[in-house]
Amino acid sequence: MALVEINFDGLVGPSHNYAGLSLGNLASASHGGDPSYPRAAALQGLDKMRHNLALGLTQGFFAPLPRPNPGFLSALGLGTPRDATETRLRAAAWSASAMWTANAATVSPAPDTADGRCHLTAANLVTMPHRSQEWPDTVRQLRLAFADHAHFVVHDAVPACFGDEGAANHMRMAAHHDAAGIELFVYGRPGGPFPARQHEQASRAVARIHGLNAERTLFIEQSAEAIAAGAFHNDVVAVANERVLFTHEAAFADPQGTYAAIRAALPEAEIVVVPTSAVSLADAIKSYLFNAQLLSLPTGEMALVIPTEAWETPSVRTWLDGMLASNGPIRRVLPVDVRQSMANGGGPACLRLRVVADPATVDPRFLLDPARIDALAAVVAQTWPAQIDPTDLGSTTLAQTVHDARYALLATAGLTELA
């Protein structure tokens, strides 16, 4: 079979909660302390997977990581918290943040790499303490899913001195998914009010490790204005698919230079720019218009899977209506409800890792069909907590419920070696 794009969505874990842990992520900050609804959150995510499968696309998933993370708690010497800082650190050990698999790894498909294999480098996520604990367990899962060494190489994260946030700060463009492409690494510079999570040297290391062709690899600076406005990852303000880049005007430090470099490296590139005059940076970030899945449908059309929040934002809706009425490359807009994830700053694009590969080379336990989605949804409906209040974190009863729920999921998926 030809190489196709497979979207691996992170299944929202049973400890999903709002702890306000991500400085610079406005949704996380504003919902910190709210009750969360893990069961509804995971079912919303599974509905999105079902929706994309029904479009005729190949869909996979990754399982939640073990939480609360005993290794993280003991490495910090944490028992019962004695102050607000320790309470936050304990919340970090409970975070279900691995659901945002766009941050799991950076992926360079086989047509782009020197050895003709698909390379994946786990992201170290060191900027945010609650995310820094993810990568060792993520690597274990990637090494299971992509164990076929003839087709895949899974690398450990780059050294912690350089922050790496994975595919959320990486875009690939190509005439078609299975053609040699160009890879765009978007990094931030520190100095603004919020952390710049992606370090340029991490991006350069990943490009070297993956054996990318220097002439087809671009390193692009994110605009400081976008980071300061709450674009903590580039995928909050830009998304690419095959020959199309869909971007806010204020995404990059040097927009015109960036567009020219892309056109020089990929002459068939089409760049759809949303101007600030149509959608302000604030509306783009609040609505998550760009944290969309830009997908090539089997019909040959491109569709934009957006969060319902974007569809309901007047400036965004007006712009999308105009885009659909024009003759642009994006022909369909499909809203999905992922509100539980959105309230922590994770839209449809955050929830998935894109891998261009032949599905026959992937461990089938990570691939989905409607019956497998139904089976996962039944486990979630039966075992995921209905509600978590931030004050519940630390409860031994809840910890056992979360552990048992994850184990039930792994058993159903045939993945108990990840327990």
Query: Which residue numbers are catalytic?
Result: 165, 233, 350
* Residue from 236, 239, 285, 368 binding ligand SUG (CB under 6 A): 236
Q: At what angle do helices 370-383 and 396-413 cross, to 10 degrees?
A: 160
Size of the site for ligand SUG (CB under 6 A): 24
Task: Report the candidate in 148, 216, 135 with the shortest Cα–Cα distance to residue 357.
Answer: 148
How many whole angstroms separate alpha carbon 124 and alpha carbon 186? Answer: 16
Work out how close the CB of 172 gets to ligand SUG at its nearest, in angstroms, rounded to a whole number. 15
Do strands 217-221 and 352-357 pair parallel, antiparallel, or not at all (unpaired)?
A: unpaired
CB 402 within 8 A of CB 67: yes
The span of 5-13, 14-22, 173-181, 392-400 binding ligand SUG (CB under 6 A) equals 14-22
> Binding to ligand SUG by residue 64, rule CB under 6 A?
no
390: number of Cβ within 10 Å: 18
CB 385 within 8 A of CB 38: yes
Work out how close the CB of 279 gets to ligand SUG at its nearest, in angstroms, rounded to a whole number. 18
> Binding to ligand SUG by residue 108, rule CB under 6 A?
no
Question: Quick one: DSSP state of residue 63?
Answer: P
Residue nearer to ligand SUG on the CB measure, 117 or 352 = 352
Work out how close the CB of 412 gets to ligand SUG at its nearest, in angstroms, rounded to a whole number. 26
Work out how close the CB of 115 gets to ligand SUG at its nearest, in angstroms, rounded to a whole number. 28
Amino acid at 90: R
> Binding to ligand SUG by residue 103, rule CB under 6 A?
yes
388 three-class SS: strand
* Residue from 28, 106, 287, 383 binding ligand SUG (CB under 6 A): 28
* Residue from 52, 87, 97, 222 binding ligand SUG (CB under 6 A): 97
Work out how close the CB of 232 gets to ligand SUG at its nearest, in angstroms, rounded to a whole number. 6
> Binding to ligand SUG by residue 45, rule CB under 6 A?
no
Angle at 23 between CA 21 and CA 24, to 5 degrees: 135
From the number of C-beta atoms within 10 Å of its C-beta (0-12, 13-18, 19+), residue 99 rates as buried
* Residue from 113, 198, 344, 401 binding ligand SUG (CB under 6 A): 344
Amino acid at 144: L
> Binding to ligand SUG by residue 393, rule CB under 6 A?
no
From the number of C-beta atoms within 10 Å of its C-beta (0-12, 13-18, 19+), residue 91 rates as buried
**By the criterion CB under 6 A, which residues form the site for ligand SUG?**
18-22, 25, 28, 32, 95, 97, 100, 102-103, 128, 131, 168, 232-233, 235-236, 344-346, 350
